[in-house]
Structure 1
Amino acid sequence: MHAPATTAPAPSPPGTRPSALHRTGAFCARHPLSVIAVWLLVLAAALLGSKTVGATYSDEVSLPGSHTQTGADLLEASDPALADPNGKIVFHVDSGTVSGHGDGLDAALDRLRDLPRVTAVSEPVTSTDGATAYVTVSFDEDIKSLGSTYVGRLDDATAPARHAGIDVGYGGDLHDIARAPANDVAGEAVGIGTALVVLLLAFGSVAAALMPLTTALISVGVGTGVVGIVAGTLTFATSAPTLALMIGLGVGIDYALFLTTRFRQDVIDGYDTETAVGRTTAGSGKAVLIAAVTVAVALLSLYACGLSMIGRLGLAATTAVLITALAALTLVPAALGLVGHRVDRLRVRRPVAETAGDDDGWHRYARVVARRPATFLTAGLALVVLCAIPLFALRLGHIDDGADPVGSTTRHAYDWMAEADGDGFGPGANGTFTVVVDLGGATRSADQVADELANALAKTDGVARVTKPQPTRDGKLLVTTVTPTTGPQTAETADLFETLTDRTLPDILADTGTHAHLTGSTAGQLEFRDTVTERLPVIIGIVLVCAFLLLMVVFRSLVIPLKAVVLNLLTTGASYGVLVAVFQWGWGDRLLGMSEPVPIESYVPMMMFAIVFGLSMDYEIFLLSRIAEEWHTGHDNQKAVGKGLSLTGRVITCAALIMTAVFLSFTGSPTVVVKMLALGLAISVILDATVVRLVLVPSLMFLLGRANWWLPAWLDRRLPHLTV
């Protein structure tokens, strides 16, 4: 434990009433056991509630007015059975034919027809050599709502085929329940363990290291529990709980770290426990509150894209962030009050103060940058731009079952269907298009339209097969299936989609008085990609404007927010570039457990932009608030920057290392989208906390000098005052 300072801390001016945050922190410090007990009760209630409400998660996207949605609606209105959710069950033998293995296949099909929720089982479609066959199984409710336990029923039903020596795989939309549930426990343990090591090195004591970790785990448990409860009413995407856990754990540890660091310094300076906790909550707590609100605004801006699935992903992450911020303002002060001056007990090394004075390493580093700011700026920009170069090859798409782990039932089904040379149905069989022709107002007979449609589709480049167009029961529609020559996640299949919707179908039906719509899962994913690409600039614009306005009000400058916006754009671009190199080009993808290169999932860039911008504002606010404080107290620009780096450099570096470790731990997830988000966020955080905060920001501030703080007087008078 540190000896108190030789001079007593200055008391508050007479008549000064402590702020609400100060009073909140002091109250929690006086009643630590009660506050901690309340949080533990809330944790238990949240986890229990999430298990009892029946949460639902689905990646199904609705695009009202789109080709795919219109086609699906026409099918459901004309023949509801055609619109039933369905998936494929694939049967395969390594030698001989499926039909040559006794009656195992027939027995399996009979059992499948008797399963609850099954409305129809098609006749088997067999490959040329007879080694592979598949059936389409239709259900009377969304497949995902059947739950993973339904796979056991499917296994029981197909057991006769397996006993006859026939391998079985589940494909199509059955992957929603057939994929092994994500088990990220091992990865999370690695991330938490790494965070603990960093905290031990940062604080030098077990007590100080365990507090941020323990409080973060409690708050993130509450956050994920609340997300699960909300999921009983709102349907979240399948990655929502993992995203909430990942973001909540990262910011939860960071926020607690910032408060614990400030508290330790006040203890070193001689304040009693209650006063130190109150000061900590009033000071760093306010910065945490503003940072959390900034992250929340960035995440909630995702609703502006008009896609509920994307908006709700932002809502799930926002819920976790706000709950961890609330814990930072109540639970952390309670824990600090409970530990008090014993914060440095159980030492692993000698604890040190947060700054060593005007000649510490950070001040010396600042002087080095000040001597050659242009050199540091050029080097930092070169590194970030180099990372961003692959961004220009970015290709958005949907990750199909071909990226599932080798040996999984969904991967088996995909590979058997895709095998060429007569041993399957070709890669396009995993991502067919359904063409729906509305015959209302037709000027030709249905047979004539069907013949012209089939002939034109068969001649289209990239089409492997076309089924004969068939009328629906009421005769209002023609329906045909188009099989591409390439797999669903390839650029060629995306080009075929555009060719069919923009040229082939309009040209074929131009003089027939009919209209065609392309629908099905693959078409829906491609149309979703196009919609996300179109609306991404809206999200970027909203986030940039909000960040600019916040920083302008806080730091009373036009230059600082402009610099922050530009640098954060560069950081985001660099993280996008790394994703393209790793996932799309396949550089090092084996290290992440990937079996093949994949496109960037269509909504990942939008999600990453909002999250990265929100998180980067945390470090921006913590660093610049200290620099601004020194500047406004009369120090010159170089002194202010050096002091700001000295006071925040170590804690920001530790926070970034912790958040990076947490994010990287999720790259072990079996879900490819989670891998992408985890790696992208880890790269952006480490670049932001090192290259941006420690190189680009100080070098630019040295070059700009007094211009950093330029704000027109007329604007200064009209802006509200908000300090950190």
Structure 2
Amino acid sequence: MGAWSARHRKSAVFGWLLFVVLAAYLGGVHGSTQVTESESMPGQVARAAKILDEAGIKAPASESVLVQSAALTADDPAFRAVVDQVRAAVTGTGRTGDLRSPYDTQAFSADRHSALVQFTVTGDREKAAENIPAVLDAVAKVQAQHRDLTVEELGEASSGKWFEDQFADDFQRAEWTAVPLALGILLIAFGALVAAVLPVVLALTAFVAAGGLVALSSGLLHTSNDASSVMLLVGLAVGVDYCLFYLRREREERAAGHDAETALRIAAATSGRAVLVSGVTVVVAMAGMFLTGIADFQAMSYATIVVVITAVLGSLTVLPALLSMLGDRVDKGKVPLLHRLRRAETAATGGRIWNAVLTPVLRRPLAATVLAGGLLLGIAAPLLTMHTANLTFQQQLPKGNALVATSERIQAAFPGSPSPATVVVRATDIDSPAISAAIEDLKARALAGNRMHGPIDVTLHSEQNVATIDIPLRGSGNDSASTDALRTLREDIIPATLLKVPGTEAPVTGSTAGSHDFNEQMTGSMVPVFGFVVAFAFLLMLTSFRSLAVAVTAVALNLLSVGAAYGVLTLVFQHGVGASLLGTAGVGAIDSWVPLFLFVILFGLSMDYHVFVVSRIKEGHDRGLSTQAAIAHGIRSTAGVVTSAAVIMVAVFGVFGTLSMQSMKQMGVGLAVAVLIDATIIRGVLLPAVMSLLGERNWYLPRWLGWLPDFSHTEPAPLADRAAAAAATGPEPETEGARHRRVGV
């Protein structure tokens, strides 16, 4: 592929541009089919959503206005006047319906100093988001006229609108921050503007093309906004990394004295192969998310797979063509000081820092293994206390947020779940006496215990033979009290009442049910997803390197880095240690989707470095270097690339750690910490130490696996390189096999 692209430069470059433009245009014309609510959630929640969708019933977004006074009670005329003013203001917008006065529903706090004016916002969720600003403005005007009272609004539409706006603002800020950061780091890495711009441009074009392809195929596999965000995050990281690996190898071969054509051929056969293996590994890891059975995760998985394949394709085709066209002009726009620094580091074979780390590691590999392994196990230890849950509204938003303050005031005045459980009943005849009696029996049993409370609202849709029953649960919404109440409702009360009527189904939905079902699905998916990813990563490493030891080492080291990332997440976001440094606080739990998502992403991305570094080590060994010398040569020759790639990834992921929502912070920090650990302690200490301990056993392959194909590539290395690598580790007896390989080369 590299040789063809170099020979047909114009075809490769213009073909890529045509592909990007066509994919983006066709995807824009086709549009994106989004994941529906019934697809996005598992269990009974999905079933309830499907019943409502099939019946054409769109539950309107509900809102509440809290009217609260420290001095007045609901019985005071002045308090009632404010309530009436709120009702008039909300009704006057023309964008609400089903308005209920607290004087009709008795929605008063126990001390009667607080009341809730309840209503719905007209339109579906999208339309409600458009209508809610006018309602919020009307309520704010009432508050401005009564500073001695609290008049605040909260509900599904207002919170949904905030999340939508904040999500868009956060990701726009992340996009505008991540790209310049990557460009700046690449400028430092290469010391030349053209070389720095090239990987960013290719990564962005790969993202644009992949976005069009995902939109085109969204009719078959629905997509989501989350999928687009993850596609940008991963696409920018791997796209830049792949180009960086390829470009640095081509420049290295040119510096070693090869002509342009030979340098490109070597880069294609070595770094190009590493990019291909790494890309396949990421694709396999992301494919594991299909086993979750949740449409949002499948959409994220598919989008990531498409962008990785596109990035690999660009790196293996258009990049060689561009390098062939540019030639020495790839170093145009040199930054004098940075360029001299890059050349000095290349001459020093990895830089002073990496030399200072690697020399003692190779001299005392056992001590390095024990110390580094012990450190990572210590960092991973908090993982044993990890608690996952769907984070509540209050946990997701930053401290001091106005919506959180309103929610806390409502929760304090009206204890219980802020969102009721909704029983969606579908029967043969919803108006039959048997169903009516069953509903009354359900209400009585729900109120008889101490786990649910009134008011219980029943809405009949006679034409569709569907009814919805809203039952407030005790607890905060995702605590043990709410979970116990949900379990009682699902397992005891509904089977004893509604389900006794033949032909009736009654799944339970709502925020508590959604959180419970999602968490259960995530927990149940852990083992199959982890097993799938680990097994296939092992097989890929075994096939790529024809070595049992390399495959086992790759899996073990990746698991260690993921475990360390989990430990940091638990310590910071669950227990709050150092959380203030990130502008957040411990919330007592890790969002239930984060660990699984981090695992598949990190397992794929970590292989970038592993494949790249071990490929160079094996390449040196195949040229005739002893294992010890090959390790020294491989680590030192890739140190600069791995460092640059890791800094870019940490910077990009770190940007997501600065976003407003807790789940985004957890994802960003988890990814950044794992990549940082992987590129330093794992690749700089543990990998060379473990491979040094294994020695020639690194290349062991059982005879019964001898049929595996050999994808290795060997190029003659300058004698100076071999002498430098040998000098780095000191004289070492040459094995008979190594001597034969050297002579053969």
TM-score category of the 2 structures, normalised to the smaller one: 0.7 to 0.9
1:491-506 equivalent positions in 2, closer than 5 A: 491-502=480-491
Contact 2:377 2:560 in 1 (8 A): yes
Residue 392 in structure 1 maps to residue 384 in structure 2: yes
Which residue number in structure 1 is paired with residue 708 of structure 2? Answer: 719
Which residue number in structure 1 is paired with residue 44 of structure 2? Answer: 67
Aligned-partner residue type, residue 325 of structure 1: V
Contact 1:263 1:276 in 2 (8 A): yes
Which residue number in structure 2 is paired with residue 613 of structure 1? Answer: 603
1:93-104 equivalent positions in 2, closer than 5 A: 93=67, 95=69, 99-101=80-82, 103-104=84-85
Distance 1:470 1:212, change over 3 A: closer
Residue 184 in structure 1 maps to residue 171 in structure 2: yes
Residue 164 in structure 1 maps to residue 142 in structure 2: yes
Contact 1:24 1:278 in 2 (8 A): no
Distance 1:74 1:195, change over 3 A: closer
Residue 490 in structure 1 maps to residue 479 in structure 2: yes
Contact 1:58 1:235 in 2 (8 A): yes
Contact 1:589 1:595 in 2 (8 A): yes
Q: Deviations over 1:110-153 (max 9, x none)?
A: 356x54xx8x5352454333644243426664x14x4xxx5443
2: CA distance between counterparts of 1:693 and 1:651? 12
2: CA distance between counterparts of 1:497 and 1:103? 35
2: CA distance between counterparts of 1:502 and 1:315? 36
Aligned-partner residue type, residue 664 of structure 1: G
1:218-257 equivalent positions in 2, closer than 5 A: 218-227=205-214, 230=217, 234-257=221-244
1:353-368 equivalent positions in 2, closer than 5 A: 355-356=346-347, 365-368=357-360
- DSSP 3-state at the match of 2:476: coil
- DSSP 3-state at the match of 1:352: helix
Q: Deviations over 1:331-353 (max 9, x none)?
A: 33344234321333423331427
Aligned-partner residue type, residue 225 of structure 2: T
Which residue number in structure 1 is paired with residue 116 of structure 2? Answer: 133
Contact 2:67 2:116 in 1 (8 A): no
Distance 1:629 1:159, change over 3 A: closer
1:538: Cα distance to partner?
0.9
Which residue number in structure 1 is paired with residue 455 of structure 2? Answer: 467
- DSSP 3-state at the match of 1:348: helix
Contact 1:59 1:238 in 2 (8 A): no
1: CA distance between counterparts of 2:387 and 2:533? 23
2: CA distance between counterparts of 1:188 and 1:473? 46
1:69: Cα distance to partner?
3.7
Residue 315 in structure 1 maps to residue 305 in structure 2: no
Which residue number in structure 2 is paired with residue 297 of structure 1? Answer: 284
Residue 404 in structure 1 maps to residue 397 in structure 2: yes
Which of the residues 545, 556, 565 maps onto 1:575? Answer: 565
Contact 1:88 1:172 in 2 (8 A): yes
Which of the residues 54, 58, 80 maps onto 1:84? Answer: 58
Contact 1:256 1:332 in 2 (8 A): yes
Distance 1:686 1:62, change over 3 A: same
Which residue number in structure 1 is paired with residue 88 of structure 2? Answer: 107
Distance 1:484 1:371, change over 3 A: same
- DSSP 3-state at the match of 2:39: coil
Unmatched segments (≥5 aa) in structure 2:
145-150, 714-745
Aligned-partner residue type, residue 164 of structure 1: V
Which residue number in structure 1 is paired with residue 131 of structure 2? Answer: 153
Contact 1:456 1:508 in 2 (8 A): no
1: CA distance between counterparts of 2:25 and 2:663? 28
1:530: Cα distance to partner?
0.4
Contact 2:389 2:519 in 1 (8 A): yes
Which residue number in structure 2 is paired with residue 9 of structure 1? Answer: none
Contact 1:397 1:529 in 2 (8 A): yes
- DSSP 3-state at the match of 2:169: coil
Which residue number in structure 2 is paired with residue 540 of structure 1? Answer: 530
- DSSP 3-state at the match of 1:605: helix
2: CA distance between counterparts of 1:231 and 1:478? 33
- DSSP 3-state at the match of 1:428: coil
1:497: Cα distance to partner?
3.2
Which of the residues 205, 213, 219 maps onto 2:192? Answer: 205
Identity of aligned residues (%): 29
More contact order relative to length (CA 8 Å, sep ≥ 6)? 1
Contact 2:63 2:121 in 1 (8 A): no
2: CA distance between counterparts of 1:49 and 1:408? 41
Residue 433 in structure 1 maps to residue 421 in structure 2: yes
2: CA distance between counterparts of 1:70 and 1:364? 60
1:440-455 equivalent positions in 2, closer than 5 A: 453-454=442-443
Contact 1:93 1:131 in 2 (8 A): yes
Which of the residues 634, 645, 650 maps onto 1:644? Answer: 634
Contact 1:433 1:481 in 2 (8 A): yes
Contact 2:241 2:645 in 1 (8 A): yes
- DSSP 3-state at the match of 2:8: helix
1:658: Cα distance to partner?
1.2
- DSSP 3-state at the match of 2:257: coil
1:631: Cα distance to partner?
2.3
Which of the residues 411, 417, 435 maps onto 2:410? Answer: 417
Structure number with higher helix proportion: 2
- Structure 1 residues 517-526 or 227-236, which shifts more? 227-236
Distance 1:137 1:41, change over 3 A: farther
Contact 2:619 2:712 in 1 (8 A): no
Which residue number in structure 1 is paired with residue 663 of structure 2? Answer: 673
Normalised by the length of structure 1, the TM-score is: 0.83
1:659: Cα distance to partner?
0.8
Distance 1:132 1:224, change over 3 A: farther
Distance 1:173 1:186, change over 3 A: closer
Residue 702 in structure 1 maps to residue 686 in structure 2: no
2: CA distance between counterparts of 1:287 and 1:411? 48
Contact 1:26 1:278 in 2 (8 A): no
Distance 1:467 1:391, change over 3 A: same
2: CA distance between counterparts of 1:582 and 1:703? 35
Distance 1:404 1:707, change over 3 A: same
Which of the residues 312, 337, 340 maps onto 1:348? Answer: 337
1: CA distance between counterparts of 2:310 and 2:86? 53
Contact 2:264 2:320 in 1 (8 A): yes
2: CA distance between counterparts of 1:59 and 1:359? 51
1:48: Cα distance to partner?
5.7
1:175: Cα distance to partner?
3.5
Contact 1:104 1:162 in 2 (8 A): no
Normalised by the length of structure 2, the TM-score is: 0.81
- DSSP 3-state at the match of 2:508: strand
2: CA distance between counterparts of 1:227 and 1:65? 23
- DSSP 3-state at the match of 1:164: helix
- DSSP 3-state at the match of 1:182: helix
**RMSD over equivalenced CA pairs, Å:** 3.7
- DSSP 3-state at the match of 2:65: strand
1: CA distance between counterparts of 2:13 and 2:499? 70
Unmatched segments (≥5 aa) in structure 1:
1-19
1:546: Cα distance to partner?
0.9
2: CA distance between counterparts of 1:593 and 1:134? 34
Which of the residues 360, 363, 367 maps onto 1:375? Answer: 367
2: CA distance between counterparts of 1:500 and 1:381? 48
2: CA distance between counterparts of 1:69 and 1:385? 39
1: CA distance between counterparts of 2:20 and 2:216? 12
2: CA distance between counterparts of 1:363 and 1:163? 66
2: CA distance between counterparts of 1:289 and 1:38? 20
Aligned-partner residue type, residue 91 of structure 1: V
2: CA distance between counterparts of 1:356 and 1:607? 40
